[in-house]
Homo-oligomer: A and B are copies of this chain.
Amino acid sequence: MSNSELFKLRSSIRQNKYVGFTSGLARGFVQTNLVVIEEEYAGTFELFCKKNSRACPLLEVVGPRSFTPQLLARNADLRRDLPRYKIFKDGQVIGIKKDIIDIYQPNFVFFLIGCSFTFENALLNEKIELKHVKELKNVSMYNTNVPLIPEGIFKGNLVVSMRPIKYNKVVDATIITAHYPKMHGAPVYIGYPELIGINNLNNVDYGDNIKVGEGEVPMFWACGVSPQNAILNAKLPIAITHVPGHMFITDLKDNYYYEIIE
């Protein structure tokens, strides 16, 4: 995707014309998860992210009294530039919105967390087939029984994204994604979903159901939806996140976060 196509897409999202998921979109650009909480909880949440950097690799913190990233997209408005927002109140999801202009508070702090959609371009470039992209679906996501490291009021279990990968591409997919630690990096688990508390792959917790076919192995990457569990548990008066799979698309190219594995 070119820069001008990117700006067209963001404008379409800003005008609430595009409200779908972003997997397979803006190939080659960094995508991020979003968590918005009030200033008084921001310090604790940042520590929580740092302790759980595999699930919550923090790319940028914006605000309070600002909604414009300085690193990731200097012309963006985080109140409008995601396709869908999920609103949390006192530990419950109370709604989905296409922008959050009307409920914006100046004491909001926006946490932008790396997203595994970012490394999908690198996988596709190496001829590793991604079924959800091919089928124009959202990625499959699951709650696991693996606890995150708690910090203050923030605790909960890891959420993973799952991609069925042909058995002879599993190791390549592991090594390629390991080069993107800020986008969750290498998978956390490979195969055997029952060992992390996923008893039926057909019951997704978020996103779309993608069948694991014969000769395919389900690979699990840490997912930036994980903090949404922590926000539910923390019962904050108000919190906002992206809807799983409906990410913030940044101005940065994926290779900005490519790291050599030493």
Contacts and interface: CB of A to CB of B under 8 A. Distances in A.
A186 B171 CA distance: 7
A87 interface: no
12 contacts: A167-B189, A167-B196, A171-B186, A171-B187, A171-B189, A175-B175, A175-B261, A178-B261, A179-B261, A190-B191, A190-B217, A191-B191
Secondary structure of the A contact surface, majority rule? mixed
Contacts of A195: 167, 215
Interface string A172-191: 00110011000000111111
A168 interface: yes
A262 interface: yes
Nearest to A258: B262
Interface string A184-217: 0011111110011000000000000000000101
Contact of A260 (B168, B186, B192, B261): B261
Contacts of A189: 167-168, 170-171
Classify chain A: how many residues form its interface, as a range: 20 to 34
B175 A186 contact: yes
A79 to B, nearest CB: 37
B174 A186 contact: yes
Nearest to A189: B167
Given A175-B178, A175-B186, A178-B261, 10 more contacts: A167-B189, A167-B192, A167-B195, A168-B189, A171-B190, A179-B261, A190-B217, A191-B191, A260-B260, A261-B261
Nearest to A221: B171
A175 B262 CA distance: 10
Contacts of A179: 261
Contacts of A174: 171, 174-175, 186, 190
A208 B188 CA distance: 30
Contacts of A261: 175, 178-179, 260-261
A142 to B, nearest CB: 15
Nearest to A177: B171
Interface string A16-32: 00000000000000000
Nearest to A146: B168
